[in-house]
Amino acid sequence: MEALEVYKAVAEVVDPVYLVGGSVRDVLMGRACNDFDFTTPLVPDRIEAAVREAGRRPYLIGKKYGTVGFKADGRLVEVTTFRSEVYPDDTRKPNVVFLDDLAADLSRRDFTINAIAMQGDQVIDLFGGRADIEARVIRAVGNPRERFKEDPLRMLRAARFASQLGFSVEPATTSAMERYAHRILHVARERWMAELDKLLVGDSVAYALELLAATRLLRFMLPELELQVGYEQNSPYHDRTLYEHTVGVVAATQPDVTLRWGALLHDVAKPFVRAEKPDRSTYVKHDLLGVELVERMALYLKWSKRRREDVRELVRDHLLETSPLREADAAAKPSPNAE
């Protein structure tokens, strides 16, 4: 079902209603969209009543936050009351305040490209989101420091959108990410993983990983990898820093999330086993120590047993000719001869 058809089906039940957020961005970019978000000035009780009056069953699990779900032509959709979020006591648990103003609702969203609404085929763009889509730029709505103080996960979402969309993050937003990078520690690691998994399979993963390093998010999320940034390998097999090499391997690996986690961590142990020879550095048994580090990181990141085992195997075997990472690893080196 196309976006306009979905909108019409929802508008038959709840009126007035607006398509909003990333679904509008994807419509304007001509991207496939299967996840539609709707918003309305109606309060939750009135949304629920409208759904029941239309003979539909309301889903009320999110009602206290302003969201009521129902089925429209067989598709589960959610409609949320215009709202703002107040974060008391410097926490991430907001008090939700319902509004009747679309502009105020859009102003509390994360990035301009996600702060666009549509009513039917009418586009409502109050923050320059369409221009930023054209310029392929990710820009925080309003003051980026305020947006990231409200919800630090937005910093990681910026990198994820950059990877998925092939956009760059504009300087003021990047600067705020660096300033508040430490606040990512306030966010549950399960939420990190949801964003990192999407980031790793994006077409512009190399830019996104470099962004994580440049903004110091990598330092607070994956400190074992942050050691690789600027790390000269002193090896005839490498003409790039260790992190540059790692990023190159990830980008050259097939966009499967498990393979790319393996690529990201394949050399994670190198800084811990470095030994010097007269003409170069060596990294004996970094594959074996890498397995131990993956085990520790997997526990910290709360991976499933299956992922932990799969990534551990990829790291352990990455030097073997049979490794699915072997070709990508060789492509990221100046010489076809691998260590």
Whether 74 is in a domain gets the answer: yes
Band of the pLDDT at 237, cuts 50, 70, 90?
Answer: low
Do 217 and 175 sit in the same domain of this protein? yes
- Find the mean pLDDT for residues 99-126: 95
- pLDDT the model gives residue 59: 96
- Provide the domain count of the chain: 3
184 and 241, same domain (yes or no): no
Domain-embedded: residue 187? yes
**Residue 173 confidence (pLDDT):** 98
pLDDT category of residue 185 using cuts at 50, 70 and 90 = very high
Query: Is the predicted pLDDT of residue 280 greater than 80, yes or no?
Result: no
Average pLDDT over residues 258-287: 87
| Residue 181 is assigned to a structural domain of this protein | yes
Domain shared by 261 and 213, yes or no: no
Please tell me whether residues 111 and 141 are part of one structural domain: no
For 39-73, the pLDDT digits (tens) are: 999 999 999 999 999 999 999 999 999 999 999 97
- Domain membership of residue 339 (yes or no) is no
Using CB atoms within 10 Å of the CB of residue 55, give its burial: 0 to 12 exposed, 13 to 18 middle, 19+ buried. Answer: exposed
Q: What is the pTM of this model?
A: 0.91
Q: Are residues 116 and 194 in the same domain?
A: no
Q: 233 and 145: one domain?
A: no
Domain final position from 205, 221, 237: 221
What pLDDT, on a 0 to 100 scale, did the predictor assign at position 329?
Answer: 84
148 part of a folded domain: yes
Alpha-carbon distances of 248 from 60, 211, 239, 294, 335, rounded to whole Å: 46, 14, 12, 20, 14
pLDDT tens for each residue of 139-160 = 999 999 999 999 999 999 999 9
Q: Are residues 237 and 273 in the same domain?
A: yes
Q: Are residues 30 and 91 in the same domain?
A: yes
pLDDT for res 336: 46
On whether both 153 and 66 belong to a single domain, the answer is no
From 221, 242, 277, the end of a domain falls on 221
Among the candidates 163, 193, 221, a domain finishes at 221
Assigned domain for 336 exists: no
Q: What percent of the chain clears pLDDT 90, i.e. is strictly above it?
A: 77
Range of the domain at 202: 136-221
Q: Does pLDDT of 273 surpass 50?
A: yes
Domain check: are 64 and 104 in the same one?
yes
- pLDDT of 236 reads 63
- Model confidence at 224, pLDDT cuts 50, 70, 90, reads very high
Give the per-residue pLDDT at 3.
Answer: 84
| pLDDT of residue 339 exceeding 60 | no
Please tell me whether residues 4 and 125 are part of one structural domain. yes
Supply the CATH number for residue 212's domain. 1.10.110.30
Q: Is residue 279 part of a domain?
A: yes
Domain presence at residue 337: no
| 279 and 303 belong to one structural domain | yes
